[in-house]
A = this chain, B = another copy of it.
Amino acid sequence: MNAPTPMIRLTTQRQIILEELSKVKTHPTASEVYDMVRKRLPRIGLGTVYRNLELMAENGMIAKLEVGGTQKRFDATTESHYHIRCSCCGKVEDIDIPIIDSLVGTAAKNSSYQIFGHHIEFTGICSECQKNEGNITIQ
């Protein structure tokens, strides 16, 4: 059922992308990763970052978050957890509440889909943006 073991070479670029991604607790977009990585590898190409994020996600080394907003976001921790997105600055972080395993079962009873996963995303205003009350622009 799972993808065959993939044999992915850990090049310098991949290693550094992985390291930088692991450093942060927010879930950066591809270009945010690009910016972080470029400080250590100034000549790296945007395409390489995209290709490798995609590739590492396919191989389960990292997670690709399909959250709201236009851009894809990436996450070094692959265990399932829920997220919260700041409607003001767009930042995405983890939220520490237990996974509700029963949800998939409940949903399956009410659907013709073959369901294999779920994700909860909360929306709110992060503490920094709360401080800036007044000059808020909701995204």
Contacts and interface: CB of A to CB of B under 8 A. Distances in A.
Interface of A: 66-70, 72, 82, 84, 86-87, 95-97, 103-104, 106-107, 110-127, 130
A123 B114 CA distance: 8
28 contacts: A66-B67, A66-B69, A68-B119, A70-B72, A82-B107, A84-B113, A86-B113, A95-B107, A96-B110, A96-B111, A97-B103, A97-B106, A97-B107, A107-B122, A111-B124, A112-B126, A112-B127, A113-B122, A113-B127, A115-B123, A116-B123, A117-B124, A118-B120, A118-B122, A118-B123, A119-B123, A120-B120, A121-B121
Chain A interface mostly: mixed
